[in-house]
Amino acid sequence: MLAEDDPLILDLVEWVARDERSHAELLESWRTSCPRLTVWEDAVDRGYLTRQDRLVTVTRKGHELLSSHGRSSLLPLREKVAARSADG
């Protein structure tokens, strides 16, 4: 469960879910001058985001987090496209 003080993690996961993001883009867009603000590391540690080569992607757990908070998630659409591809 997402703690009350973690809205930035939810925002980050939603931001990544909206479009394909590179690791460099994520770090540039979400950098902070406060070393204690570890949004990226916390999201990865909790299993919401993963890095595959240079891309950052939302995990199934991340999509479930978005869904449980009424946020946009592209997972259902991606699953439908994958299912169609597999069928034919």
Per-residue pLDDT of the chain (88 residues; tens, 9 = 90+): 566 558 989 999 999 999 889 999 998 888 776 666 688 889 999 999 999 989 999 999 999 999 899 887 665 555 544 444 555 5
In the chain the domains, ranked by start, together with CATH numbers, are: 7-87 (1.10.10.10)
- Contact between residue 58 and residue 16 where contact means Cβ atoms under 8 Å apart: yes
- Contact between residue 50 and residue 14 where contact means Cβ atoms under 8 Å apart: no
pLDDT tens figures, 32-44: 766 666 888 899 9
37: left (phi over 0), alpha (psi -120 to 50) or beta: beta
pTM of the model: 0.74
